[in-house]
Every structure is written in structure tokens, then in C-alpha cells.
Structure 1
């Protein structure tokens, strides 16, 4: 093992230790039931099957951490939930907005206009609003049942009131549509004007759906780069080999540029490439198709076995963080730097704590939140519920990128880096001399 490899391993161990112990961890997911009788009744009638609950998405707002559970199988009490930040590691989940409206009825129907049937990931914007994209289906892994039409729900987090519910029209959806992630761009400083755009990835039918809150309208954007890469469909996670053909599944927005538009960074799950396009193209429903075709830019390739389920940009550091599923880890890239191997390091990797990292979110206080859930074991029936299976890890973003190429170094930092390179050369050079002497 050479000097550089030793330093890298020590660095990864140091970074992993910065996240230990996890903020939350569960063997199985439980809920903050009104009472023991209600919990037992839910188990008896099949509306709660503990081993069928697998979280996939997170988002932090003030003292709450939202946790989503898609309805892969039967027995999911609520898809949209939260825990309080001051609760214990195995805190039970609270359905959102409350027990009555957060859950489906015993016959599988919705109980309110505010009920979320099945969501993968959610977004908290700078206007204290929670954006949820609801697929409206149950039992996705077996006999899919459409309970409600796919929709966007926008909640006021200060009051829990439903500000807007938009039901997608059939012309923007396809039979294979699976809506996975949502990113929100608010134009201008005044939230009350409602001039916001939501960008939703349709992983199943390879598209981005754009929703204008001001116009209360949505449209579909397609590009050949939104499709999966056949060469990146092979996975091995948790000892399980599988093949996925998932299209564009995650996106994140940069800070607004001088022209008032942002860059949307996006990628298919089954791909190792990173793409970018300006929201100037997306905001206009009538953008010519040839402009869309030419408007998606390949900014680089993350390398072999670097498939990512989710990404997010930390506004404080301008760093894009992305999950590394096959490496049980997390990667990063400072978007102000070239996208290459040197500038896209693996900054976390742990086969236990981070087996199948599924979501990553940067909050507005400089913290990063990571959810790992052993999804490959869950979907392919190899989960051991005597072990901890689901974890939420958190750390300041500045801590995670310290000393890496994702850090924006000061003049002092750049001088320190140059000095480190000189010291490294001094350490390695004598070793080479000794090796040459021994060969003689």
C-alpha cells in the first residue's frame, strides 16, 4: 500500500467517524401511534406491516426531518412523515400533516385532499414550503393500483396548510411514468408572488416535468440524455447483483446566475455521466425542441461503478453532493471547478453505515443529511430485520469537504496545499531510491 493510498484511507476513516453515531437508525420503521390498540389494529388489518416500510427520501426544516416511504408493498401507514430533531435514534415517525390526513383509509382510499399516497423524495424551499410529488399508487413492486392521479402538493410549513395541489394532466405523463425527485426555483425575492417553478424527474419514462406555480400549468421536456446508459445498468450492492434501466432520477439547482436563471444539474440513475441545462430552456413551455435537444450539456463522467440515486447542491459551498450506490458512499464536486477525476472525489464510504445511500440533502444551515436504506436487499428479499437497516447521517458540509478538491481554498489554503505536495515528494523520493538500491 503506497503513501497516497494510506492517506486516502485514513481520510475516509476520519470522515466516516465525523458522522458516527448516526442521527437516526432503525431495524424496522415504526410510527408514533395514538396508542397501543391502534397499532395492534393496524397490524391485524394489514394497514401496517413493519417489514414492508423502507424510507427513501429526507428533507430538513427547522426542528423537523421529513422522511418518505414509497408504497412499494402493502402495509405502509403513511408515505410522508417526519421526526423531531430532538428525538431518540430510533424515533417513531409522525405522519404528515397529521394522523387523520396522512394515512389512507382501511379500504385504501384517501382521507383528505392533503393525503399523500406515495412519494419518493421531497423538497423544502427558501420560502418555508414543502413540495411533494405524489405518484398516487400503491404496491409498486407487485400489483400496482392507482389510488389518485399523480400530483404536486405544496404545504406551508409554518401552518401545515395546503397552499396548492396540482393534478398532472394525461398529456405530460406516460404509462411508465415514475416521478422520483423534485427541485424548486423561486424567481425573485418575494415568495408571496408565487413565481416558482418545480422540476420533477420522471425516471420511468425519461423526462423532466416542469410546473409553473404562477400559471398553474405543467409541461413535459424530453432529451436523449435523460435515458439510461446500457453500459451502466449493472449494480452490486450488499452482495446482491441486479440490473436497472432507470432514467433521469435526480436533479439539483445552482444559485441564480446574472441572467436570473439557474443551472439544473441532473443525471439518470443508470448512468455515470453528469448533465446540465439552463432553466431558461425549461421555464418556457414553447421552447423549440431543437433548442432542448442541443441545450443539455455533458459536463463529465464520474467513472466506473459511480451510479447515483440522488444529488443536491449546498448553497453555502457551491458543492454538488451525490450518492455513490455501488461504493456505499458519497461523492462531491465543486461546480466552480472542472468536472474531472481529480475534482470528483469519494469523500465517504462505509459498507455498513452507508449500504445503499438513497438520498442526500443540504439544509439551509450548512448541514448535509444522508439516508441509507439497503434498498437492494429490501427489493430482492434479503433483508435481516435483526440488524439496523435504515440510517440517517448528518454533518456540516464544511467538515465533509475539508481537505478535498471540493473545498474552495483560500490563498493560505492553496499555499498549504503546495507545501503538502513538496512534503509528499520528499517522503516518496527516498523510498524510490531505496527500492532502486535493492534491485541492484
Structure 2
């Protein structure tokens, strides 16, 4: 048993070392200003460095998209990117460009392509960037509705806006907070796609059909938070959240042509699953929706997760572990159990408050940590590194863990037999 513990410790150290050094890290988020623009933005407070906190990432070719919701005043641009070959503290470039990525001097939108405030984004296999825009500014202080909530789809090959759908009032609620977006492409036709958007604030999933340019709301009692999982302690700060469904990830298509959406509320330790056959059906009976969400299992105490993603190459679901400053995983080909959902990474410095995780099409995993609890509830020390982007091959991160196709545990049992 002692030898087994030593081997497990070495595996854990090996996996953590694969993330070093961080691909990007910043004390404060800065931008690729030109000329005297930075000084001007600091003077008129359109840029307040300490108020910028990233929450989402997504990779496309030589770019890494980084989102900054407008929590507070002084956010130049919510949707941004850095070049992968840039320095470790690379400055952000507003997307799609400086003019349209920012708000005007009076706080209004510049163009139809301006994204006001987004948490997380999604890059699909058709080289499109999907963005859900809440349209608000200064969320944590004096909320201002700058534009209507919408979903935007960009062609990343030329940065053109392919579609912008403004949500109708009946799709949202007064408390809606749109956080994550997962995209399902039906068959080989890029035009037939569905976006599944988590509404963390009002416990629902908003479904958007690109082909029909239509959206509808799906509700289920499992989309609500678990009162037993509302207590957090991260970075030495105790807080309570009642956040509902906040993230979802899609499996590969099944034999029936539909995918499974794996989802969870932030304030929960349970994992749920729902077929997109129900989600795609705008007129699905409420009884079918009520019974259509399956409880897969419980990850155990203090396993609340803000985000998740599935790596198609390994068929592994990765999810953030906020209270453990780490990353968990589950191989979808194995039964869901605490033994099969291990904590594979944990570092109280590098990964304090892991907020987003994304698998790219090249088999790499990207993790964003941002010390969000300090940002929201306690002054951050901006003399230290606060925001990090870590990356490593998914195969390296799961090697020797229960998430591996043939894990160390399986090989050990095989030898003993």
C-alpha cells in the first residue's frame, strides 16, 4: 500500500508538472493599446486595470480567446484574444477589432458586432466562434442594460458576423445570467446547428437553432442549485452561492443521431445528462422534459464546478474543481463513481479558482484560473500573478488515472490477477 501511495503521488506530480510553466499569466489584464490610448483610457476610466477579471477561454489556431465580463466599471472590451506565440503576459486584442470590440465613450454599442459582456465562448468544428452576450455592464455594482441579450456567430476565417439573434422576452427571465454555450452540429452541414446556453441566474437552458433562427427556453428542477452545496471556501474566503445550471458539454453523436448534454449547476456536486433529442424539440411535452434529465451520480463533497468540457479524442469529461483549486475528470466509457471521477490536478497557487476549461481539436486542454473569490469579496494583491492560462495534452493529464482508457489501476489489477 505504501508503494502504491508513492506511485500515485509521483503520477500527480508528473501531471501537474506538465502544466508548467503557465502558457500565459498576468498580474493585471492589459491591452494592445496604440499610441497614447492607454493613458487616455486610464484618465477617463474606460480602463481600470484592477477591475478586469477573465472568466472564459477558447482556442482557435494561433489565437486564444479570453473573455472579461463587465463585472465593474473600466472594462475596455469583453471579447478578446491573444496570439499563442506571444509573451507570457501578452496584451489582449479586442475582437473583432479595436473599434467594434469596445463601447463608445458614452457607454453604448458601436456596431452590430460589438459584444457587451460575455462569460464563456465556444469554437465549433466549422471555424465559427459562438458568443452569448448578456448585454449588461457593471454587473456587481449598478447594473446597466446596454443592449439586448443575444447570441452571435462569427466566421473566424474572416471575422465576419454570420448571425446575431436577439432573444425574445419570453426566452429569458428577470434574473437571467447567461454563462456558457455548447454547440451541436447536425451531420456534416454546418448550417444545421444548435446552441445550448446555460442560464445560471434563472435555472434554465436556452436552445438556439441556427437554421431556423429561433430560440426557446427549457426548464427542469435539476437545473436549480443544491442547498447542501452552496457553501464555498476558496483562497481563504468563505462565501455562499445559489447558482443554477452553469455549464454543459456535448458527447459525440449516438446511434440515434443525437448527443447527450452533460450538465451541472455550479452549486451542486451532482452530474446530470439530457438527450439533445428533447432539447431540439421546441414543442416537447413538459412531462417529457421533466423526466428527461438523468442523474448520473454525485462527485462527493466540495466538488462544485464552474465549467466542463469533453475531449473527443479520449472521451473524457474534464471539469473545474473550485473548492479544491484543481481539475477533475470522468471517462464517459466507465461507470460514474467517486473512484472514476478523481481529482487529477490541484495547486492552491497556480489554480486558485479554476473558472474555465476547454479541450481543443488537437488534443490539448486549456485551463483558466482567476482568483474570482478574491476579486468579488476581497481586495486582490495586484503585485502578484492573479490570472493564469495552463495547458497540456489531455493524454498526459489522464495518464495513469481512472480516466485513462487503460489506467494504472486496471494494469495493477491485471498484474495481480
3-state SS, counterpart of residue 360 of structure 1:
strand
Rounded Cα–Cα distance in structure 2 between residues aligned with 1:420 and 1:124: 42
Report 1:36-55 matches (<5 A): 37-55=36-54
1:217 paired residue number:
214
Match of 2:84 in 1: 85
Unaligned 5+ segments in structure 1 are 423-440
Residues 1:196 and 1:415: Cα distance change in structure 2 (over 3 Å): closer
Offset of residue 106 of structure 1: 1.2
Alpha-carbon deviations, 1:83-103, whole Å to 9, x = none? 000000000000000000000
Matched, 1:416 2:411: yes
User: 1:207 pairs with 191, 204, 208, which one?
Assistant: 204
CA shift in 2, pair 1:386/1:306, >3 Å: same
Partner of 1:97: 96
2-structure distance, mates of 1:169, 1:4 = 57
State the match for 2:275 in structure 1.
Answer: 278
Residues 1:22 and 1:106: Cα distance change in structure 2 (over 3 Å): same
What is the deviation of 1:341? Answer: 1.0
C-alpha displacement at 1:363, in angstroms? 0.3
Supply the distance in 1 between the matched residues of 2:391 and 2:289 (Cα, whole angstroms). 37
1:3 Cα deviation from its structure 2 partner = 4.5
Q: Deviations over 1:390-420 (max 9, x none)?
A: 000000000000111111129xx78733356
Q: Which has the larger radius of gyration?
A: 1
Choose the corresponding residue for 1:309, options 306, 309, 314. 306
More helix by share: 1
State the match for 1:172 in structure 2. Answer: 171
Counterpart in the other structure of 1:16: 16
2:236 aligns with one of 239, 250, 257: 239
Partner SS for 1:403: coil
Aligned residue in 1 for 2:266:
269
Residues 420 and 331 (structure 1), Cα distance of their counterparts in 2 relative to 1, 3 Å cut: farther
Which residue is 1:25 aligned to? 25
- Output the CA distance in 1 between the equivalents of 2:243 and 2:155: 32
Q: What secondary structure, in the 3-state scheme, does the structure 2 residue paired with 1:155 have?
A: strand
How many Å apart are 1:4 and its aligned residue?
A: 4.2
In 2, distance between residues paired with 1:329 and 1:70?
22
Asked if structure 1 preserves the Cα contact closer than 8 Å seen for 2:402 and 2:409, the reply is no
Alpha-carbon offset, residue 342 of structure 1: 1.1
Larger mean Cα displacement after TM superposition, 375-384 or 169-178: 375-384
Shift of 1:336: 1.1
TM-score (norm 2): 0.98
TM-score by length of 1: 0.93
Report the alpha carbon displacement of residue 14 of structure 1 after superposing the two structures with TM.
Answer: 1.6
Q: CA RMSD in A?
A: 1.3
Residues 415 and 16 (structure 1), Cα distance of their counterparts in 2 relative to 1, 3 Å cut: closer
SS of residue paired to 1:40: helix
